[in-house]
Structure 1
Amino acid sequence: MKGKALFLVAGAAGYVLGTRAGRERYDQIAAAAGRLWGNPKVQEKVVDLQDRGTDMAKQAGAKLSDSAGAVAGQVKDKVTSGGGSGDGALGDQHHTRMPSD
C-alpha cells in the first residue's frame, strides 16, 4: 500500500511541476511566435502572398467563367438545333429500364 501511495504522490508532484514548466515554455514559444508574426518583414511577405493569391483566384475565376460560357453556348446550340438526330429537341436519348422489385 505504501508503494501505491508513494507512486501517486510522486505522480501528482511530477504533474504539478511538469504543467508549470510546460506552461512557462508554452508562453515562451507563444511570445516568440508573436514577435515573429509582428515583424515588419514577415508582414510584408504576408501581404505580398495575399495579393498574389487574390490575383491567381481572379484569373482562375475568369478562365472558369469563360469556359462555362462556351460550354453553355454549345449545349444551347445543340438543344435548339435538335442535336442532329431528328428525335426531338434533346437528340438521342438512351432509356435504361430499372429492374422491377
Structure 2
Amino acid sequence: MMGKVLLLAAAGAGYVLGARAGRERYDQISSSVGRLWGNPKVQATVGDLQDKAGDVAKQAGSVAQEKVGAAAGSVAGSVKDKFSGGSGSGDQPLGEQHHTRMPSD
C-alpha cells in the first residue's frame, strides 16, 4: 500500500515538474521513467511481487471459504434446533410465534 502511495506521489511530482519546465523536461522525465520500468531488475521484482500477491490471495480465499463453511454449519444447526423443538429458552414452534389480529368489518 505504501509503495502505491509513493509511486503516485512520484508520478505527481514528475508531472508538476515536467509541466513547469516545459515539454522538453517532461519528455526527459518520461524517458527516464520508461528506462527505469524497462530495467530487467525492476521487472523481475514486479514479477516476484505479482507471484506473492497471487499466493496471498489464494490463502485469503481458503481462509474465507473455511470461515463461511463454519458459519453456514452453525446457522444450519441453529435452524435444525428451532424446527426440531430443541431445548431452547422456551422457544415456540414457528407457527405459534406471531399472532396478528385483523380488524373485522
- Identify whether the pair has TM-score above 0.5, normalized to the shorter chain: yes
- Which deviations, in whole Å up to 9, do the C-alpha atoms of 1:24-72 show, x marking residues without a partner? 1110000000000000000000000000001001100100010000001
What is the rounded CA distance, in whole Å, between the counterparts of 1:27 and 1:21 in structure 2? 10
What is the rounded CA distance, in whole Å, between the counterparts of 2:71 and 2:21 in structure 1? 62
What is the rounded CA distance, in whole Å, between the counterparts of 1:29 and 1:77 in structure 2? 63
Given residue 27 of structure 2, which amino acid in structure 1 is its aligned partner? D
Cα deviation, residue 87, structure 1: 2.0
Give the structure 1 partner of residue 6 of structure 2: none
Residue 33 to residue 79, structure 1, CA distance change in 2 (3 Å): same
Give the structure 2 partner of residue 26 of structure 1: 26
Residue 64 to residue 20, structure 1, CA distance change in 2 (3 Å): closer
Given residue 75 of structure 1, which amino acid in structure 2 is its aligned partner? V
Given residue 87 of structure 1, which amino acid in structure 2 is its aligned partner? Q
Cα deviation, residue 21, structure 1: 4.5
> Superposition pairs for residues 1-101 of structure 1, below 5 Å?
21-82=21-82, 84-85=88-89, 86-88=91-93
Cα deviation, residue 80, structure 1: 1.1
What SS is found at the alignment partner of 1:47? Answer: helix
Larger Rg: 1
Q: When the two structures are superposed, what TM-score results if normalisation uses the length of structure 1?
A: 0.64
What is the rounded CA distance, in whole Å, between the counterparts of 1:20 and 1:54 in structure 2? 40
Task: Give the gaps of 5 or more residues in structure 1.
Answer: 1-18, 94-101
What is the rounded CA distance, in whole Å, between the counterparts of 1:52 and 1:81 in structure 2? 44
Task: Give the gaps of 5 or more residues in structure 2.
Answer: 1-18, 99-105
- How big is the alpha-carbon RMSD for the aligned residues of Structure 1 and Structure 2? 2.4
Q: When the two structures are superposed, what TM-score results if normalisation uses the length of structure 2?
A: 0.62
Q: Paired residues, what number?
A: 73
